[in-house]
Structure 1
Amino acid sequence: MAGAPVKPTPLLKDELDIVIPTIRNLDFLEMWRPFFEQYHLIIVQDGDPSKTIKVPEGFDYELYNRNDINRILGPKASCISFKDSACRCFGYMVSKKKYIFTIDDDCFVAKDPSDKDINALEQHIKNLLSPATPHFFNTLYDPYREGADFVRGYPFSLREGVPTAVSHGLWLNIPDYDAPTQLVKPRERNSRYVDAVLTIPKGTLFPMCGMNLAFNRELIGPAMYFGLMGDGQPIGRYDDMWAGWCVKVICDHLGWGVKTGLPYIWHSKASNPFVNLKKEYKGIFWQEEIIPFFQSVVLPKECTTVQKCYIELSKLVKEKLGPVDPYFLKLSEAMVTWIEAWDELNSAGEDSNVPAKK
């Protein structure tokens, strides 16, 4: 609230894991060392499991490759994508922490307009620890920030806000564009820094990007499934989109909030638009069916947990999107498998999660 003393942001070093999907050596961590070194990293290696991934000295981490995923999940490993960054959601599943921050290995520390390094993780923690306001839009954006408050006309009954489940960060330099937009704007770069965080209103979907994302795993973790993508699938690069649509519908149903805006990271590498177009091609058509589907979803009041909501969503995906393409029948089954694997790993005690060797 305005006028209140500024409290230091809790570090949450014992309550937060950083999840990184990768196919290469993690030299990018050197730039993040001042911000990440005190946290535990969960690295999910995609692609060839025989390849050695090098991690800079001094980081506390566990590294999982495809062999580890198969060993830990057994037949249920089929729900984890291969040769796609969607494999990162395995890290969410094996984490035992309350919060998750996930970042791509081509993302670096950005600078704010005063040329100061941005501590993205600190801002995500601020977002997650302060309430969200999805039921009524505050025109000064986040009313809980220092120097802001609720504007005249904002209902007092809603000023307490709701728990924040997701903090969605943005990017400077390379925008998160789809392939057609990349092709027509190959040199476009984002240099616009907007010093704002806002709650996405209830009933409004958004395109979630997984390269700079944090969430309350205890609240929304079971819905953070990045789908079936990549190798053996007819689609890629819609993994975070899918998770975002599912998460938002469930957050709206259960009364939680999703924030977007700060923090920014520096996205350093534009992927090949022609390769991306091949991966996205069907998704570009399908999203015209998928988005109206999610906009029309009404979850029954009996769905009182994330797992129950997600299983109900899987049934609706099968019923409503199955006729669009057989892929969605396969995806609906994978959604159920994901929940089963999540519950097994997160209710059977510590022995169920055998950590990979460093």
Structure 2
Amino acid sequence: MANPVRIGICVPTIGEEATRQFLDAWTPHWRQQACRFHVHVFLHEDRPRRSLDPGDRPFPLTHTAHEDISRVLGDREWIIPRGTGASRSFPMYLAWKAGCDYIVTLDYDCYPEEGRGDAFLERHLESFSRDRWFRTIAGDEPRGVPYERLGRLAVRLNHGLWSEVPDLDGPTSLVRLRDARAVALRPGHEVVPPGMAFPL
């Protein structure tokens, strides 16, 4: 029997109750697939120190916070600033260092689809073996398609946005998005001119 495929599940989180609910929801499905997949969860709190208790789990769980980024990266800790989406990069780095065959990142509020949770990892990995890529945007290649398939000029930066969701900061969103018509979205395909700054 072949060795189980090593899967690193990376979860950036902030709340103890939400984290427990996430782990409680996924644990039975990962346990069900234990003969095929060796799951190692990398839980990262975007806080100065570890404060939540994820509870005992039937799989390896690496629990980190920003103090661990400081310890591991030293004077390069600025690469992963606090309070940003970059916080998921640290558990992904640790999963890579741990030798995981595949790395999957899930937000702490992503739950298994009813009736399909047991097959989530299997279906996810099967999608890597497909030769054809499904287009989610008409005409343009969506984010994530390998660049060598594009047959175009080299890409320096590829940044995606949520469909029909303005990329606003939290306070502005609370005020402006009460009326969706108050925000005018530009066309979906934009090229940032050379020398111009673009907020990520």
Partner residue, 1:99: 102
Residue 102 (structure 1) shift: 1.3
Q: How does 1:12-161 map to 2 (within 5 A)?
A: 13-25=4-16, 26-27=19-20, 28-37=22-31, 38=34, 39-95=39-95, 96-111=99-114, 116-118=115-117, 119-128=119-128, 130-134=129-133
- Give the unaligned 5+ runs of structure 2: 151-168, 178-182
Which residue, out of 323, 341, 346, partners 2:196?
323
- Residues 1:85 and 1:13: Cα distance change in structure 2 (over 3 Å): farther
Residue 55 (structure 1) shift: 3.5
Q: Secondary structure at the match of 2:43?
A: strand
Cα contact 1:20–1:43 (8 A) shared by 2: yes
Q: How does 1:190-339 map to 2 (within 5 A)?
A: 198=134, 204-206=140-142, 244=143, 247-248=144-145, 251-252=146-147, 254-255=148-149, 275=171, 277=173, 288=186, 291-293=189-191, 320=194, 322-324=195-197
Q: Secondary structure at the match of 1:59?
A: coil
Residue 117 (structure 1) shift: 3.7
| AA of the residue aligned to 1:33 | T
- Residues 1:50 and 1:120: Cα distance change in structure 2 (over 3 Å): closer
Percent identity over the alignment is 20
Residue 203 (structure 1) shift: 7.2
CA distance in 2, matches of 1:109, 1:324: 39
Partner residue, 2:158: none
| CA distances 1:148-187 after superposition (whole Å, capped 9, x unpaired) | xxxxxxxxxxxxxxxxxxxxxxxxxxxxxxxxxxxxxxxx
Cα contact 1:35–1:121 (8 A) shared by 2: no
Residue 21 (structure 1) shift: 0.6
CA distance in 2, matches of 1:200, 1:275: 30
CA distance in 1, matches of 2:116, 2:188: 38
CA distance in 2, matches of 1:43, 1:17: 10
Residue 17 (structure 1) shift: 0.8
Residue 201 (structure 1) shift: 8.0
Residue 109 (structure 1) shift: 1.9
- Residues 1:14 and 1:127: Cα distance change in structure 2 (over 3 Å): same
CA distance in 1, matches of 2:188, 2:73: 29
Across the aligned residues of Structure 1 and Structure 2, the Cα RMSD in angstroms comes to 3.6
- Give the unaligned 5+ runs of structure 1: 1-10, 135-197, 207-243, 257-272, 295-318, 329-358
Q: Secondary structure at the match of 2:89?
A: helix
- Tell me the TM-score normalised to structure 1 length: 0.38
- Residues 1:89 and 1:291: Cα distance change in structure 2 (over 3 Å): farther
Q: Secondary structure at the match of 2:113?
A: coil
CA distance in 1, matches of 2:4, 2:189: 37
